[in-house]
Amino acid sequence: MTTPSAIYKHGDELEKHFQVDINNARYKTTNGSTTGPSEHVLNAGQIDRDRPSDPKLLDNTESSSPSYTPLSLLRMQLTGLQDDINIFLTERMEVAKMKKSKLASDAEEKRIEEEIKVLLDGGDDDNSETENEQ
């Protein structure tokens, strides 16, 4: 059975592919790392009442290693894929935020420089001081 996948695109400059690695533990759980209440909230005593249910076991599973239904496997794989997408887009958001912050900072710096320049160019009466001394 194939696994879920995703492709992110932004214009012609960026394309990112998301694939599931079925041997990686992050694709073998229904509890995502980027969904649900934060650690801070859980540590404060909050109970996660919306916690995803555990994957469904195949009937008559008696072996020590559990076998899950195909749709449970899909749900676990999709959970890991969702985390991958969320982490990637959050990083992109941070980059955009830093760029915006730098632009604002550069604009502010330029504004201050302009103001200083205007103030310095406005005081152009050095000769009057010399005449007073004489």
Partner 1 sequence: MKNGREMSLDYVLNLEIPFTTSRQAQIAAKVLVPDPILKPQDFQVEYLSQDNILAVHFRGIDDRVLRVGVSSVIDSIKTIIETIDELD
Binding residues for partner 1, rule: CB under 8 A, are 1-11, 30, 34-35, 52-53, 56, 69-72, 74-75, 78-79, 81-82, 85-86, 89-90, 92-93, 96
68 or 120: whose CB is closer to partner 1? 68
To the nearest whole angstrom, how small is the minimum distance from the Cβ of residue 39 to partner 1? 18
Query: Which residue in 7, 30, 28 sits closest to 18, CA to CA?
Result: 7
Q: How many CB atoms lie within 10 A of CB 72?
A: 18
In whole angstroms, the minimum distance from the beta carbon of 6 to partner 1 comes to 5
Q: How far apart are the first and last CA of the chain?
A: 98
> What DSSP state is assigned to residue 57?
B
**In the complex, least distance from residue 104 CB atom to partner 1, rounded to whole angstroms:** 17
Q: How far apart are CA 15 and CA 7, in angstroms?
A: 7
- Closest distance to partner 1 from the beta carbon of 47 (Å): 19
Q: How far apart are CA 113 and CA 119, in angstroms?
A: 10
Q: Are 29 and 52 in contact (CB under 8 A)?
A: no
Q: Which is nearer to partner 1, 93 or 112 (CB)?
A: 93
- Give the residue with the Cβ less far from partner 1, 27 or 72: 72
**Closer residue to partner 1 (CB): 66 or 70:** 70
